[in-house]
């Protein structure tokens, strides 16, 4: 294990800070040099700041700071906090530069805060409710996962596809550039990536219409496009953009371009200054079912891959495909961590990747060659990965080849989704928020030959994926979520903590032998990095969906966390998330910052309380209308939850008085009365659609009131 910067440098940094109040250590030095650049982002010794999504270009989420450590973390107290008045999801990684913290919420509002005192310095609101229109329906509540810093600017990408440069000193927008065609079913929830004077951004949309994923690099100064790389080939009749697309086209069959192909880059992007490469984690196929999008089979490059591109030109360098011919939503969009490892007696420039498909990959990033891959969760779709060929050895029948229902692990949410893992180079361990779920796949009843891609946002019975999925329970003694410490060299689990919630947020690890992670049920916890022993726990009053960060200013180490239940569990709803009791508007959202010198505790929040469904005893529920209403509800499910059971990111409609009033319901649903709050208008719905929705929602409410309150909430969540 190599760790270039030893402790003396950090101690020296702190020593230089002594006596200075606000600006100190490396932060001020970089600010004087003209703002954030590659040297600053790459410098793992710059512990005063957190300059990019994963802290450094290596995306390790490791800070060498050790003022807070395994011996004293029990003394950690609230130093300051900032309440966020709006009922927004907070899922982003805050950035810290020059003693100012920047973060973004689910409506893409950017806030700058004094990282020492907690004073709000400015707010920039890109007004996504006004720009996003129907796009809100698929992306609004998932929330932005982060920002990028370069020079004297902070960059935010909005759900409606704009990339905006904002001046760090003032919060004033400097330029705005559209990155997607507004007629396409695309949106952005990811953090931009800044390197070498460029800002890179992808998009999501694989599940929502014909989508052909791509990433685009823009000039950080001007917003001009520098290069664009498509993830999958287009129609050969139009000619291929480059040799890589011609190569990829040989791995597709039929008329794949009609469904777009997919591959959208909605999350993981890592810049590697040692090789001047960017690594792109690519999305799943569109639609999920390969029999539809590529009926003659094929690997379908570059779906579900790690793709290495030249950082200056966007030219193809190499790829490693984690799931050839994917057909289970096994995208490879998860974070990619760079680490120097010693494996089998030689030094390896490694890329570490734990995608949805359940294998932990160690890849040689000079060449893209697979070094090793082992399952970090139950994997039933493949028996193992052949390290000679680099390919998975699939389990017979896993592709639901005859339409029958097949139990598959991991499920579409993956064994690991976007909540980032961290890597501690001192202990040589990766800390992975892990999901353990099983789903049944079937394309029985889907007319594979005549399947058409769904219109932009039109709800398709059975989902727009060309396959029906249904969650199936795990054995009762098996946890649905865990935090795992994984040794990437030996490819084995070292310790594990079990949770009774599947989705838990990303992790932070430090030179103080610590791992920090929030939980879906509202605790913030510190573990010993080597053993997993729990050392500190604080209840935050609301479910946590964001990863923590740490930074050091003036000799004080701060640990910061956004507390604001959001993203998939808050919006997809269902039993597990409803019972947590994080009702919409029920609990304050806030930024909380801890230190050993803190004097405060987390302010009290209302106790968790799932909303109580209402009944309208006058209404005679019509079962025919309920059936029709269940179909219309496909428009609502993405935010209000499967089975009308909300996860807390939006109102639970069974408990909504708006639904009980014909006039109020019409004003909100068709009239757009709550557009500013994130509820889009549906002017095209007919009277009978509204009535059917009301009957469906009342039936769901009565079922909940009469018997098991969640019995009707079994509709499967759609993961990102």
Task: Provide the annotated active-site residues.
Answer: 329
Q: Round to whole Å and give the CA distance between 428 and 529.
A: 10
Tokens, residue 304: 């579900």
Instruction: Yes or no: say if 69 and 596 are a contact pair by the CB < 8 Å rule.
Output: no
Q: Round to whole Å and give the CA distance between 6 and 18.
A: 20
Q: Round to whole Å and give the CA distance between 699 and 720.
A: 29
Q: Round to whole Å and give the CA distance between 57 and 420.
A: 14
Minimum CB–partner distance for residue 151 and Ca ion (Å): 34
| CB-nearer residue toward Ca ion: 284 or 700 | 284
| CB-nearer residue toward Ca ion: 284 or 646 | 284
CA 95 to chain centre: 16
| CB-nearer residue toward Ca ion: 73 or 334 | 334
Instruction: Please write down the HEC assignment for all residues of 180-226.
Output: CCCCCCCECCCCCEEECCEEEECCECCCCCCCECEEEEEECCCCCEE
Q: Round to whole Å and give the CA distance between 603 and 160.
A: 35
| CB-nearer residue toward Ca ion: 284 or 572 | 284
> Widest CA span of the chain, in angstroms?
76
Minimum CB–partner distance for residue 260 and Ca ion (Å): 13
Residues 6+ apart with CB under 8 A from 686: none
Tokens, residue 141: 């509540």
Per residue in 492-519, is it b (16+ CB within 10 Å) or e — as a string? Answer: ebbbebebebbbbbbbbbbbbbbbbbbb
Instruction: Yes or no: say if 124 and 167 are a contact pair by the CB < 8 Å rule.
Output: no
CB neighbours of residue 158 within 10 Å = 25
Secondary structure (DSSP) of 651-686: --GGG-HHHH-HHHHHHHHTT-TTGGGT----TT--
Minimum CB–partner distance for residue 288 and Ca ion (Å): 7
Sheet of 514-518: strand order equals: 62-63, 507-510, 514-518, 523-528, 534-539
Minimum CB–partner distance for residue 323 and Ca ion (Å): 12
For Ca ion, the binding residues (CB under 5 A) are 206, 284, 329
Q: Round to whole Å and give the CA distance between 53 and 44.
A: 14
| CB-nearer residue toward Ca ion: 286 or 491 | 286
Q: Rounded to the nearest 5°, which phi and psi values hold at 639?
A: -105, -40
Instruction: Yes or no: say if 263 and 232 are a contact pair by the CB < 8 Å rule.
Output: yes
Minimum CB–partner distance for residue 718 and Ca ion (Å): 8
Burial (Cβ within 10 Å: 0-12, 13-18, ≥19) of residue 660: middle
Minimum CB–partner distance for residue 284 and Ca ion (Å): 5
Minimum CB–partner distance for residue 327 and Ca ion (Å): 12
| CB-nearer residue toward Ca ion: 284 or 323 | 284
| CB-nearer residue toward Ca ion: 553 or 718 | 718
| CB-nearer residue toward Ca ion: 284 or 557 | 284
Burial (Cβ within 10 Å: 0-12, 13-18, ≥19) of residue 309: buried
| CB-nearer residue toward Ca ion: 15 or 458 | 458
| CB-nearer residue toward Ca ion: 206 or 294 | 206
Q: Round to whole Å and give the CA distance between 579 and 60.
A: 33
| CB-nearer residue toward Ca ion: 348 or 638 | 638
User: Angle 7-17/25-32 helices, nearest 10 degrees?
Assistant: 80
β-bridge partners, 101: 96, 113
CB neighbours of residue 200 within 10 Å = 27
Q: Round to whole Å and give the CA distance between 519 and 592.
A: 15
| CB-nearer residue toward Ca ion: 65 or 303 | 303
C-alpha distance across the termini of the chain, in Å: 35
C-alpha count within 13 angstroms, C-beta hemisphere, residue 632: 22
């Amino acid at each position: 294990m190599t760790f270039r910067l030893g402790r003396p440098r950090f101690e020296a940094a702190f020593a230089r800070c002594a006596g200075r109040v606000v600006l100190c250590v490396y932060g001020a030095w970089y600010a004087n040099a003209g703002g954030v650049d590659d040297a600053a982002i790459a410098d793992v010794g710059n512990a005063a700041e957190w300059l990019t999504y994963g802290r450094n270009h290596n995306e390790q989420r490791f800070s060498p700071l050790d003022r807070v450590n395994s011996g004293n973390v029990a003394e950690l107290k609230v130093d300051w906090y900032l309440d966020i008045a709006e009922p927004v999801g907070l899922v982003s990684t805050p950035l810290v530069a020059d003693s100012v913290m920047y973060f973004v919420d689910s409506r893409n509002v950017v806030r700058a805060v004094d990282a020492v005192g907690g004073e709000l310095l400015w707010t920039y609101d890109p007004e996504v409710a006004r720009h996003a229109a129907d796009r809100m329906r698929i992306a609004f509540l998932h929330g932005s996962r982060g920002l990028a810093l370069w020079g004297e600017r902070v960059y935010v990408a909005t759900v409606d596809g704009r990339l905006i440069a904002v001046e760090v000193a003032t919060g004033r927008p400097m330029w705005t550039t559209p990155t997607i065609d507004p007629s396409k079913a695309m949106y952005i929830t990811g953090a931009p990536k800044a390197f070498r004077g460029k800002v890179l951004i992808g998009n999501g949309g694989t599940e929502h219409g014909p989508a052909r994923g791509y990433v685009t690099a823009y000039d950080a100064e001007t917003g001009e496009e520098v290069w664009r790389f498509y993830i999958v080939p287009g129609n050969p009749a139009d000619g291929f953009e480059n040799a890589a697309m011609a190569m990829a086209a040989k791995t597709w069959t039929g008329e794949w371009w009609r469904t777009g192909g997919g591959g959208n880059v909605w999350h993981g992007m890592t810049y590697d200054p040692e090789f001047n490469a960017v690594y792109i984690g690519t999305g799943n196929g569109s639609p999920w079912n390969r029999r539809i999008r590529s009926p003659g089979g094929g690997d379908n490059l570059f779906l579900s891959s790690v793709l290495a591109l030249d950082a200056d030109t966007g030219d193809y360098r190499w790829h490693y495909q984690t799931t050839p011919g994917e057909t289970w939503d096994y995208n490879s969009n998860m974070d990619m961590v760079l680490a120097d490892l010693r494996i089998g007696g030689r030094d390896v420039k490694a890329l570490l990747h734990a995608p949805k498909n359940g294998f932990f990959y160690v890849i040689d990033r000079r060449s893209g060659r697979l070094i090793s891959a082992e399952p970090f969760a139950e994997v039933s779709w493949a028996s193992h990965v052949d390290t000679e060929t680099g390919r998975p050895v699939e389990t017979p029948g896993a592709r639901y080849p005859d339409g029958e229902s097949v139990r598959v692990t991991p499920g579409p949410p993956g064994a690991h989704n976007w909540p980032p893992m961290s890597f501690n180079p001192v202990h040589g361990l990766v800390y992975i928020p892990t999901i353990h779920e099983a789903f049944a796949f079937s394309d029985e009843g889907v007319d594979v030959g005549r399947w058409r891609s769904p219109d932009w946002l039109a709800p398709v019975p059975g989902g727009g994926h060309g396959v029906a999925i249904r969650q199936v329970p795990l054995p009762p003694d098996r946890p649905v979520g865990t935090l795992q410490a994984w040794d990437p060299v030996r490819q084995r689990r070292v310790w594990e903590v079990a949770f009774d919630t599947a989705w838990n947020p990303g992790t932070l690890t430090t030179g103080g032998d610590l791992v920090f992670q929030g939980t879906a049920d509202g605790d913030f916890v510190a573990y010993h990095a080597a053993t997993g022993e729990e050392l500190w726990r604080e209840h935050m009053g609301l479910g946590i969906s964001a990863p923590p960060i740490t930074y050091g200013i003036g000799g004080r180490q701060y640990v910061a966390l956004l507390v604001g239940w959001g993203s998939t569990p808050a919006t997809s709803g269902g039993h597990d998330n409803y019972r947590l009791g994080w009702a919409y508007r029920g609990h304050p959202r806030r930024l909380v910052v801890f230190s050993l010198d803190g004097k405060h505790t987390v302010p009290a929040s209302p106790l968790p309380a799932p909303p109580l469904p209402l009944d309208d005893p006058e209404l005679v529920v019509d079962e025919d209308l309920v059936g029709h209403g269940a179909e219309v509800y496909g428009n609502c499910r993405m935010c209000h939850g499967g089975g009308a059971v909300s996860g807390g990111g939006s109102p639970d409609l069974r408990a909504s008085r708006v639904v009980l009033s014909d006039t109020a319901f019409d004003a909100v649903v068709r009239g757009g009365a709550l557009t500013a709050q994130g509820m889009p208008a549906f002017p095209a719905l007919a009277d009978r659609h509204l009535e059917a929705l009301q009957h469906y929602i009342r039936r769901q409410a009565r079922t909940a009131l009469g018997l098991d309150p969640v019995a009707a909430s079994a509709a499967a969540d759609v993961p990102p």
